[in-house]
Amino acid sequence: MAKIQKIKGFVDLFPEEAAKFTFMEKSARETFERYGFGELRTPVLEKTELFQKSIGEDTDVVGKEMFTFPDRKDRSLTMRPEATAGVVRAFIESKTHQPGKISKYFTFGPMFRYERPQKGRQRQFHQINAEIFGAPEAQADAELILMLKTFLNTIGLTKLTIELNSLGCHECRPTYKQALVDYYKSKDKENFCEDCRRRMETNPLRVLDCKVPACKELVVDAPVITDHLCDDCEVHFADVKSILDGAGLGYELNPRLVRGLDYYVRTCFEVASYDIGSQTAVAGGGRYDGLIKNLGGGDCAATGFAIGMERLAMLLDKLEADTPDFYLAVVDGAASNQAMLFAQQLRDKGLKGDVTYGGGSMKSRMRAANKSGAKVCLIMGGDELANQTVTVKDMVGDEEQKTISQADYLAGI
Ligand code: HAM
């Protein structure tokens, strides 16, 4: 019979790889809690319009990459392609916002984007997210970037650089958009791909983010947003940079960084690694002050980031698992039940280790014990069963072997 295989672009994580994910989540949780963040878990499935209204109809994510399907009552649902929209929806729905109040949330979990799978790009991938609501100030953006850098340092990734830009606001961006449109016209619209010809009318910034080589080349000399910022945006951006400079955090200004989602204003940033193939972005984020209002909430500023866990995992060395305390080898099937009960008593005392099922030859059991890396091998056969003893072989020191009563062994732990 044909084997059932996993869906294209979806991945199974076996213990060695899963350990890296647990490690990242644990480190993120510890770091983020030090900055006053609390965990929020939101559903994987949301109404499609949530993403259409927040990420933007003209983005690749909404236009081409969502896992969208009707439910049994023909309502359009979407597997979340990112966490921010759902976190904002939950925040609005919970009515926790009061003017002047700051809320800080982090969230971990799987996201879904129907992209062409390749190294570092999957259809189900995992993100670590952090969002701050209620703070229009530049200090919140700087705090997020400092927290992101602290987290990366904590997990041993000290060499990653942060690219930084400001995308302006609703005041200054229209002038910039017009400058872009004028530039595109000067390059002859026909030379751009079909999507970009449409984007020029609907969302000129998106053209800067196009992956088609011809379009990429055409925008090389396009005007940059940082030459068009209004005074307030200039001051805001200067504050972010000044805090990061004060903290000695290395960043690169990239006036061409526009991000792939439409909700951003002012500060935006990305962390890139050139050691993991063509998908270089390991994290990205920025400010999205208008989104809460657009989704029916109050006037509440917002800023955040997301880290791609698969891409970070590629940069992490294999994690060494803790050495087991014992390996309980049953060499006579008759002792199996007693061995299982003894192993349970060892585990109840907090020890970590494995017990074999059924009987087996001493030779194969000792080979497996060695392979397990356990500190001691405990042997149980017919004699040990009859005498309520266990034979203890030291696996790290002198490899001495002695037989003692099970009760004495347990009492000595
Ligand atoms: P994003 O840049 O779309 O931002 O995604 C964040 C990170 O998720 C990327 O830098 C990348 O590491 C990872 N990622 C994205 N797509 C894939 C994929 N197909 N396979 C593997 N990894 C992927 C957001 O999602 C925003 N919600 C971030 C944010 C939070 N902005 C404000 N708050």
Find the CATH number of the domain harbouring 391.
Answer: 3.40.50.800
Q: Which two tokens stand for residue 216?
A: 């990429």
Probe residue for ligand 1, chosen from 11, 127, 259 as the CB with the greatest number of ligand atoms within 8 Å = 127
My answer on whether 267 and 385 are in the same domain is no
pLDDT tens-digit readout, 108-124: 999 999 999 999 999 99
Number of domains composing the chain: 2
Work out the percent of the chain whose per-residue pLDDT is above 90. 86
Q: Which of 3-17, 91-105, 131-145, 295-309 has the lowest mean pLDDT?
A: 91-105
My answer on whether 246 and 341 are in the same domain is no
My answer on whether 339 and 266 are in the same domain is no
Residue 186: inside a domain, yes or no?
no
In contact, 197 and 158? CB cutoff 8 Å: no
* Percent helix, percent strand, percent coil in the chain, to nearest 5: 40, 20, 40
Residue nearest to atom 18 of ligand 1 (CA): 121
Q: What is the pLDDT of residue 159?
A: 87
Which residues constitute the domain of residue 144?
Answer: 15-172+229-315
Q: How confident is the model at residue 353 (pLDDT cuts 50, 70, 90)?
A: very high
Residue 242: inside a domain, yes or no?
yes
**Separation of 107 CA from ligand 1 center, angstroms?**
13
Q: How confident is the model at residue 95 (pLDDT cuts 50, 70, 90)?
A: confident
Residue 250: inside a domain, yes or no?
yes
Find the angle CA(79)-CA(84)-CA(85) to the nearest 5 degrees: 60
Q: What is the pLDDT of residue 209?
A: 86
My answer on whether 337 and 271 are in the same domain is no
pLDDT tens-digit readout, 196-228: 999 898 889 989 988 899 999 999 999 999 999
My answer on whether 310 and 346 are in the same domain is no
Whole-number mean pLDDT of the chain? 95
My answer on whether 42 and 140 are in the same domain is yes
Residues 292 and 299: their CA atoms lie apart, in Å, by 7
Residue nearest to atom 25 of ligand 1 (CA): 82
Pairing of strands 103-112, 124-133: antiparallel
Q: How confident is the model at residue 154 (pLDDT cuts 50, 70, 90)?
A: very high
Residue 211: inside a domain, yes or no?
no
Residue 242 has phi, psi (to 5 degrees) of: -65, -40
Residue 201: inside a domain, yes or no?
no
My answer on whether 311 and 387 are in the same domain is no
Q: Is the Cβ atom of 305 under 6 angstroms away from ligand 1? A: yes
Q: How confident is the model at residue 274 (pLDDT cuts 50, 70, 90)?
A: confident
DSSP state at residue 63: H
What CATH number is attached to the domain comprising 81? 3.30.930.10
Q: Is the Cβ atom of 311 under 6 angstroms away from ligand 1? A: yes
The atom of ligand 1 lying closest to the CA of 121 is 20
CA distances from 344 to 330, 339, 355, 378 (A): 14, 9, 9, 13
CA distances from 203 to 59, 177, 303, 384, 395 (A): 9, 8, 22, 78, 67
Residue 192: inside a domain, yes or no?
no
Residue 186 has phi, psi (to 5 degrees) of: -65, -20
Cα dihedral 258, 260, 263, 265 in deg (nearest 10): -10
